[in-house]
Structure 1
Amino acid sequence: MNNPPPPQASSAPVRGAAVAAAVCLLLAGCSGSGGARLDADANAAGKAGSGRLKVALITHGGKGDDFWELVQKGARVAAAKDGIELTYANDSDPDGQAELVRDAIRDKVDGIAVTLAKPQAMKGPVAEAKAAGIPVVGLNSGIDAWRSAGLLQYFGQDEGVAGRAVGDKLDGLKAAHALCVIHERGNVALEARCAGVKKTFTGETEMLYVDGTDMAAVNASITARLRQDPSIDEVVTMGAQFALAAVESVKTAGNGARVATFDLDKDLVKAVRDGDVQFAVDQQPYLQGYLAVDSVWLYKTNGNLSGGGVAPVLTGPAFVTKTNVASVARFAAAGTR
């Protein structure tokens, strides 16, 4: 029988394993038992000693809007990573959205992520959530109102900055008369976009309000205005589906106007690639949903505040044009851009 090695003989392997583990942690690239242990630690932190965290994502998004599908996809990926039980609810009516927040409070969720398309309507329910000890973060809409509304953090695009960038781009494209189409009257984000365009665009900026819940009516309204005023040479919309409707309106009206838009999806990516739409402003909705949900986990488990709780975390604007559309096409095809 072989005699067991003396105790000191195992010290070098142990030290070697410790060094390897340290290197693994520094490089964050090792797999195997070390990675499993890190995953276990992360899962334990996610449970925070009191069971799985429950987070509610509540938006003003309408039904069947691809934009909000992207927000949800990002939120679900973050929830799966963090071991969060995620619920999603939406109502385009501000009073209905406020009641959904109150439902989440009654359900005793651990955190809420909410949009502030109509900030005044959300102040009451947000205050009720705070009184119940529930942290609330914002995303997508309400960049100028999130702090006064009492939210901890905010993730989204500065719509005024984005609008001004579009105005500058229209100048570069030698446009003269822009029709800025707003599909939801009173939505602070959409209003800020068109106000930004008007501020920097040296040509004429005209607002057109349409009913975003009725695409046939949207198409008819844009077509009618283009026919009424042939000087309109640019149509700027606030969403991918409205841009595609505007492309059809331009064809029907036959006045040769170009189309540009805020936001994109896989169909809009194709339209940019084909030259039907000049450019899109990407605010990265997938990222907004992901960061909002992940921020609740970080706050609950480690007290982190993105932006220090005093500055928004910007997810846009980023321009997608024919020259760079190929770089985002594969992500759009996967349904994440």
Structure 2
Amino acid sequence: MQRTRPAALVAACAAGALLLAGCTSDTGGRRAQERAEQAAAAGRADTPRITVALITHGAPGDTFWDTVRKGAEQAAAKDNAELIYAGDPAASEQAALIENAVDQDVDGIALTMPDPEALSAAIDRAHAAGIPVVGLNAGLPAWQDAGLLSYFGQDESVTGRAFGDRLNDLDARHGVCVVHEQGNVSQEQRCSGVAETFEGELETLYVDGTDMPSVRSTVEARLRQDDSIDYVVALGAPFALAAVGSVADAGSDAGIATFDLNPELATAIRDGDIAFAVDQQPYLQGYLAIDALWLHRFNGNVSGGGEEPVLTGPAFVDRDSVEDIADYIENGTR
């Protein structure tokens, strides 16, 4: 809903009223305050206020989810919605968070599905309560079977295959794909996709993504065991940054490439410590998911028509292209 001209006019009026209030009466001051409040609300939906929940499998300290949440918060502010955010990497706990949202009688739920089967009962309960549910980020193969209205994210298999092609361009011969959430279908899809097109050898290494020192030491140990490994494939920015330390500690010449971005990783790309990263636009995922719930509630819209996912990636970021989006990365919107 665009209100550029009225917003500017109200803002100007509010400013003028505030100046006038300084030399007139309390009535003028109240009017100025009212106009200032109107200016602050400009651009916000005038629909009744609703409450929506965003429930992810995000682990504490993983900056990726800060970006998803920021997008969701921006959409909620625009849509006059209260946003409840919660996340837990354990599937059973994520299911409990969905149940809690149902108990709170929210108006819509946006969620990730790293383990669709473990979340199915909680999602069914939301459907039974008449609460619309959309998916984002994880669970692309299962979103329709789960009865979700829409899905926002990237096709992990397609992205993995493109990633493998990039490794071939770098003449990589032996890679290790580091899975930081065992059982997460999206991460398994990424590694499988890489393996489909990568012409070298690719092995999978499982690490505990909730323990970053352990991630660093586990990757280091594998590099020490086999000096033929020439590329570490990370599935998230914090884990790629940990791998920079692993490579240094092991005295390895292995390169590092990763899925996902954050400001520190952008710096590592600039410095040449990371070869490239996949940008799946997590801010956009959070924003679109919450906006879709509002659009469905007040206009009956279904993004993708309920038949196709809305793809937000992939795009590749390397030393040549990182400056093009550097400001957005620093702002926490890419």
What is the TM-score with the length of structure 2 in the denominator?
0.88
Q: Which moved more, 1:259-268 or 1:215-224?
A: 215-224
Q: Which of 128, 133, 139 is the aligned partner of 1:131?
A: 128
SS in 2 for 1:63: coil
Deviation digits for residues 157-188 of structure 1 (CA, Å, limit 9, x no counterpart): 11111100000110111100011000111100
Mapped to 2, the partners of 1:101 and 1:216 lie a distance apart of 31
What is the TM-score with the length of structure 1 in the denominator?
0.87
Mapped to 2, the partners of 1:243 and 1:34 lie a distance apart of 45
* Pair 1:40–1:225, CA change in 2 (3 A): closer
Mapped to 1, the partners of 2:7 and 2:180 lie a distance apart of 53
Conservation of the 8 A alpha-carbon contact between 1:73 and 1:336 = yes
Q: How does 1:130-169 map to 2 (within 5 A)?
A: 130-169=127-166
Find the counterpart in structure 2 of residue 32 from structure 1. 6
Mapped to 2, the partners of 1:72 and 1:29 lie a distance apart of 25
Root-mean-square deviation (Å): 1.9
* Pair 1:178–1:42, CA change in 2 (3 A): same
Find the counterpart in structure 1 of residue 111 from structure 2. 114
Shift, 1:43, TM fit: 2.7
* Pair 1:33–1:266, CA change in 2 (3 A): closer
The one-letter amino acid paired with 1:146 is W
Find the counterpart in structure 2 of residue 305 from structure 1. 302
Mapped to 2, the partners of 1:41 and 1:201 lie a distance apart of 48
The one-letter amino acid paired with 1:140 is N
Mapped to 2, the partners of 1:276 and 1:40 lie a distance apart of 44
Shift, 1:336, TM fit: 1.5
Shift, 1:255, TM fit: 2.1
Conservation of the 8 A alpha-carbon contact between 1:122 and 1:149 = no
2:179 is the alignment partner of 1:182:
yes
SS in 2 for 1:147: coil
Find the counterpart in structure 1 of residue 287 from structure 2. 290
Mapped to 2, the partners of 1:69 and 1:184 lie a distance apart of 18
Mapped to 1, the partners of 2:81 and 2:9 lie a distance apart of 20
Shift, 1:40, TM fit: 7.4
The one-letter amino acid paired with 1:32 is P
Q: Which of 63, 72, 76 is the aligned partner of 2:73?
A: 76
Mapped to 1, the partners of 2:193 and 2:288 lie a distance apart of 26
Mapped to 2, the partners of 1:140 and 1:291 lie a distance apart of 11
2:170 is the alignment partner of 1:173:
yes
Aligned residue pair count? 306
SS in 2 for 1:250: helix
The one-letter amino acid paired with 2:101 is A
Mapped to 2, the partners of 1:173 and 1:96 lie a distance apart of 41
Find the counterpart in structure 2 of residue 198 from structure 1. 195
- Where does structure 2 lack aligned partners over 5 or more consecutive residues? 11-37
Conservation of the 8 A alpha-carbon contact between 1:56 and 1:88 = yes
Mapped to 2, the partners of 1:30 and 1:250 lie a distance apart of 52
Mapped to 2, the partners of 1:301 and 1:97 lie a distance apart of 28
2:258 is the alignment partner of 1:261:
yes
Mapped to 2, the partners of 1:235 and 1:42 lie a distance apart of 45
Shift, 1:93, TM fit: 1.1
Conservation of the 8 A alpha-carbon contact between 1:70 and 1:286 = yes
Q: Which of 215, 218, 228 is the aligned partner of 2:215?
A: 218
Shift, 1:270, TM fit: 0.3
2:52 is the alignment partner of 1:55:
yes
Find the counterpart in structure 2 of residue 331 from structure 1. 328
Shift, 1:121, TM fit: 1.0
Mapped to 2, the partners of 1:315 and 1:41 lie a distance apart of 25
* Pair 1:133–1:40, CA change in 2 (3 A): farther
Deviation digits for residues 16-66 of structure 1 (CA, Å, limit 9, x no counterpart): xxxxxxxxx9xx6851279879x879633x31xxxx111010111111211
Q: Identity of counterpart residues, as a percentage?
A: 56
Shift, 1:334, TM fit: 1.3
